[in-house]
C-alpha cells in the first residue's frame, strides 16, 4: 500500500532560528543517558517518556526518529525524520512570520529588535499556534511547499494586533 507518509517533506527554511549545531565547540550537551541506545550525555533530547513521573526516560534524537518511524508506519527513515521535523518547524515558521510582520510594521530590521520584544512576540505566537486544533496543525505540517504553508499561517494571524 502506498502511503502519503512515504513522501520526504522538504525542510522548512528558517531565517532567524538557528538549528543547534551539535558539533560546535561551545555546544553544551545534556547530561541525560538515552534509555534505548544508552548514549551518555545525549546532545539534544529527542523525546521523553513518563516525563512527569519519578523516573522519566530520555531518548536521543536518532532513537526518537526510530520510534516515530515505527509508531507511524513510515517506509523510510528519511521520510519519518522529515515529517517529525515539521512538527517543530511549522511552529518556528509561524513565529518567524509574526516577527517579520512586526519588523515590517515598525520599519526596522531584525537586529533592531529588542530581546524583550522578541520574547513577547514569541510567546504570543506560541499561544496562537497552540490554540490551533491538532487536525489543523497536522494539515499544515503535511503541506510540501513552504510558500503554501506561509500563506495559510498568515491567514491565522491576519487580524492579530502586534503593537
Give contact residues for Zn ion (rule: CB under 5 A).
34, 36-37, 39, 60, 63
Between 43 and 100, whose beta carbon lies closer to Zn ion?
Answer: 43
Report the b/e string of 71-109 with b at 16+ CB within 10 A: eeebeeeebbbbbbbbeebbbbbbbbbbbebbbeeeeee
42, 32 in Cβ contact below 8 A? Answer: yes
Q: Name the minimum Å distance from CB 46 to Zn ion.
A: 7
Between 39 and 90, whose beta carbon lies closer to Zn ion?
Answer: 39
Q: Name the minimum Å distance from CB 83 to Zn ion.
A: 19
102, 35 in Cβ contact below 8 A? Answer: no
Q: Name the minimum Å distance from CB 58 to Zn ion.
A: 9
Between 56 and 151, whose beta carbon lies closer to Zn ion?
Answer: 56
Amino acid at each position: 500500500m502506498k502511503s502519503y507518509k512515504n513522501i520526504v517533506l522538504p525542510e522548512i527554511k528558517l531565517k532567524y532560528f538557528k538549528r543547534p549545531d551539535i558539533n560546535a565547540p561551545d555546544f553544551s550537551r545534556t547530561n541525560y543517558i538515552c534509555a534505548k541506545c544508552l548514549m551518555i550525555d545525549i546532545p539534544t533530547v529527542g523525546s521523553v517518556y513518563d516525563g512527569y513521573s519519578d523516573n522519566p526516560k530520555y531518548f536521543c534524537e536518532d532513537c526518537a526518529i526510530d520510534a516515530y518511524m515505527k509508531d507511524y508506519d513510515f517506509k523510510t527513515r528519511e521520510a519519518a525524520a522529515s515529517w517529525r521535523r515539521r512538527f517543530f518547524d511549522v511552529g518556528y515558521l509561524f513565529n518567524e512570520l509574526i516577527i517579520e510582520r512586526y519588523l515590517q510594521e515598525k520599519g526596522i530590521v531584525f537586529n533592531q529588535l529588542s530581546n524583550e520584544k522578541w520574547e513577547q512576540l514569541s510567546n504570543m505566537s506560541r499561544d496562537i499556534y497552540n490554540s490551533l486544533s491538532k487536525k489543523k496543525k497536522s494539515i499544515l505540517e503535511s503541506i510540501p511547499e513552504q510558500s503554501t504553508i506561509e500563506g495559510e499561517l498568515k491567514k491565522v494571524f491576519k487580524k492579530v494586533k502586534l503593537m
